[in-house]
Amino acid sequence: MNKKHDLNVRVNDEIDAARVRVVDEDGQIIGIMSAREALDVAVQQGLDLIEIAPKAEPPVCKVIDLGKYRYELQKREKQQKKSQHQQHLKEIRFKAATDTHDFDFKTRHAREFLLDGDKVKASVMFRGREIVHSALGIEMLKRFVASLEDVSKIDQEIKMEGSTCSVILSPEKKIPGTKKVAE
C-alpha cells in the first residue's frame, strides 16, 4: 500500500523505529510491536500504517487509510482556521473641523469594530493652515479615547505624523455575545 503522499509523516515502509505502539482506526490501542509486525497488521486489514507521534517513546503509529487520515487532517485544520479571529486594523478619519454629530457617528462605528475584536486607528487630518490648530485635533482624539475607554485600551499613544495626528486602540478582552452598540 505504498501511495504517494504530501504529508510530512512517515507511512508504511518509511517508518524506521524498531518498536512502535500501534493504534487502530477507532483509537483503540492494539499494543507495542516491531514496525514489521505492525505493517503486517495494516496490510492484512488493507490499510496503511501511519506514524502519528514520532517523538513518543515508543513512536505511535495508526492503522488507517492514508486518504481518510489526510481528510481528517484537512478537516481539523479547517475547523481551527474557522475558530481563529484575524484581528484587522480599521481606520476612522476625522478632519480638524469635524462636528459633534459626525464625531458621535464615527465613534459608534469604532465601538462596533472594537466589540468585534478589531483594532481601531483614529486619525485627524490637517489640511493647509489647519496644522496651526493641531491642539484641536489632539483634544478630539482625547475625547474619542475617553468615549471608548470602557471597551478598549490604548495601543499607541496620540502622536503627530506629518500633517496627521493619530491614536491606535485595541479591544479589551472580547466578551462573547456583546456585539450590541452601547449608547
Locus of grid cell 483509537: 27
CA distances from 73 to 7, 20, 52, 82, 84 (A): 10, 22, 11, 14, 17
Nearest residue to 120 (alpha-carbon basis) of 165, 159, 154 = 154
Average pLDDT of 145-160? 90
Residue 2 in any domain: the answer is: no
- Which pTM does this prediction carry? 0.52
Query: Based on the structure, what is the number of domains in the chain?
Result: 2
pLDDT at 30 over 90: no
| 94 and 166 housed in the same domain | yes
| 45 and 117 housed in the same domain | no
| 96 and 65 housed in the same domain | no
Locus of grid cell 500501534: 22
pLDDT at 2 over 50: no
pLDDT digits (tens, 9 = 90+) for 76-130: 888 888 777 677 889 999 998 889 999 999 999 999 999 988 899 999 999 888 8
CATH number at residue 122: 3.30.110.10
Residue 135 in any domain: the answer is: yes
CATH number at residue 65: 3.10.20.80
Last residue of a domain, one of 48, 82, 116: 82
Q: What confidence score (pLDDT) does residue 67 get? A: 85
E strands, 78-175, in order? 89-95, 119-125, 152-161, 164-171
Q: How confident is the model at residue 182 (pLDDT cuts 50, 70, 90)?
A: very low
Last residue of a domain, one of 82, 99, 129: 82
Residue 50 in any domain: the answer is: yes
Residue 176 in any domain: the answer is: no
What whole-number distance in Å separates Cα of residue 107 and Cα of residue 27? 53
Amino acid at 28: Q
Nearest residue to 140 (alpha-carbon basis) of 91, 183, 106 = 106
- For 98, the domain range is 89-171
Contacts of 132 (CB under 8 A, 6+ apart): none
Higher pLDDT, 13 or 104: 104
CA distances from 94 to 109, 121, 161 (A): 13, 11, 15
